[in-house]
Chain A
Amino acid sequence: MSRLVSRAGLDRVPRTATCGLTRLVLHGAESGGIDLPPVMERHRSGCLSCQAATARQRRMLAELGALRTEVEPVPYDMTAGLEYPVEAGADHASTQRRSTNRRTTTAVASAVSIAAIGVVVLVRRMRSPSIRKPA
């Protein structure tokens, strides 16, 4: 919200407030996100149009809040279809299993790589003559 206020230039606290500016931050002030700057508060208290907008905003928020108490009955028993395909806490167990598997795979891959490098070095040493003839 502060970024929005900043983008709108409202962090500079304008000397005069217009209906447009006031309504831009009205919803934030009504839902408790930000404080309406004093200059806008003064404008609102003297502007019937902004007061009407405030009332509309409050009514809208109240209606939205009232939806909370209305419960939609389920069309059928949702628990009837639950056949518990997994054990409780399976997420945690599977995460641990995945983590263990990954560690094992990494260790095996590292060991194989080191062994391969060792074999290559050994073969090269065996093939190359220990005493080189001078050119």
Chain B
Amino acid sequence: MEPDVIELVDRSRQGDRDAFGELARLHQHEVYTLAVRLTGDRTLAADVTQEALIRAWRAIGRFRGDSSFSTWLYRITANVAWTLKGRAARQRTYQLDAMIFQPQASDRGNPEVAGERTELRARLGAALAELARSQRTVVILKDVYGWSHKEISDALSISVTASKVRLHRAHLRLRELLKEAS
């Protein structure tokens, strides 16, 4: 953890609201990004972000620093997004594509590469949106955020085997969807 973050976490644990507010401001974009990816809905993602921050404030006393603060906060976010599944299922308006369409800064020099990547990302975004929510969650946490199956199983309260099976099925489905789209 960065020195500033360590100090802010220490102060937050002692009940310093300003310190926690600063921590929340530092991490809110990443928390919101994860929430958008997991829910596929920006409105719901905003709710998830706020709920995750409130839960983090409530539980900050139990944060022991075994992992970084951001990892701990992402775990809470994933858990909140998962528990709000009823609402997420009702509001199936996936806007994931818009985020994935944006070409990266490194591609701007080569329009051909940028075009290919944009196309692949568009297809990948559409394919991700087609996945079942349980499968999409595991793909995002494992392939995008690099979590281990153990971390995923802890955050989602599922077994490690279930996490592996969901990832396997998600990859098979993604491959099918990408093949259909090409």
Interface residues of A (CB under 8 A from B): 1, 3-4, 27-28, 31, 33, 56-57, 59-61, 63-79, 81-82, 84-92
9 cross-chain CB contacts under 8 A: A3-B165, A4-B165, A68-B146, A70-B99, A77-B25, A78-B49, A88-B12, A91-B59, A92-B61
**For residue B15, which residues in chain A have a CB less than 8 angstroms away from its CB?**
87-89
Number of A-B residue pairs, CB cutoff 8 Å, is: 126
B133 in the interface (beta carbon within 8 A): no
Map CB proximity to A onto B123-158 as digits: 1 under 8 Å, 0 otherwise.
010000000000000010011111000000000000
Contact A1 B102 (CB under 8 A): no
Interface residues of B in 49-91 (CB under 8 A from A): 49-50, 53-54, 57-62
A91 to B24, CA, bound (A): 19
Instruction: Check if B142 sits within 8 Å of A67, measured CB to CB.
Output: no
Q: Is the interface of B mostly helix, strand, loop or mixed?
A: helix
Q: Could you say which of A69, A76, A86 contacts B58, with CB atoms under 8 Å apart?
A: A86
Residue in contact with A71 in the complex, picked from B25, B30, B145, B172, CB distance below 8 Å? B30
**Out of A3, A56, A68, A79, which one reaches B144, CB within 8 Å?**
A68
Name the contact of A79 in the complex, choosing from B28, B36, B60 (C-beta under 8 A).
Answer: B28
Interface residues of B (CB under 8 A from A): 12-15, 17, 20-21, 24-25, 28-33, 36-37, 42, 46, 49-50, 53-54, 57-62, 99-100, 102, 104, 117, 120-121, 124, 139, 142-146, 161, 164-165, 167-168, 171-172, 174-175, 178
* Chain B residues near A71 (CB-CB < 8 A): 29-30, 33
Known A-B contacts A66-B104, A72-B99; the reply to A91 vs B143 at CB < 8 A is: no
**Contact in complex: A64, B144 (CB < 8 Å):** yes
Query: Is A78 a contact partner of B46 (Cβ separation < 8 A)?
Result: yes
Q: How far is the CA of A9 from the CA of B124 in the complex (A)?
A: 31
Across the two chains, which residue of chain A brings its CB closest to B61? A89
> Which of A28, A64, A68, A89 has a CB less than 8 Å from the CB of B60?
A89
Partner of B33, one of A3, A70, A81, A86: A70
Q: How far is the CA of A27 from the CA of B173 in the complex (A)?
A: 11
Complex Cα spacing A79 to B8, Å:
15
Contacts A3-B161, A4-B165, A64-B144; is A91 near B58 (CB within 8 Å)? yes
**Minimum CB–CB distance for A63 against chain B, Å:** 6
Contact partner of B164 (CB less than 8 A), chosen from A33, A64, A76, A84, is A33
Q: In the assembly, what is the distance between CA of A73 and CA of B178, in Å?
A: 28
In the bound assembly, the distance between CA atoms of A26 and B151 in angstroms comes to: 23
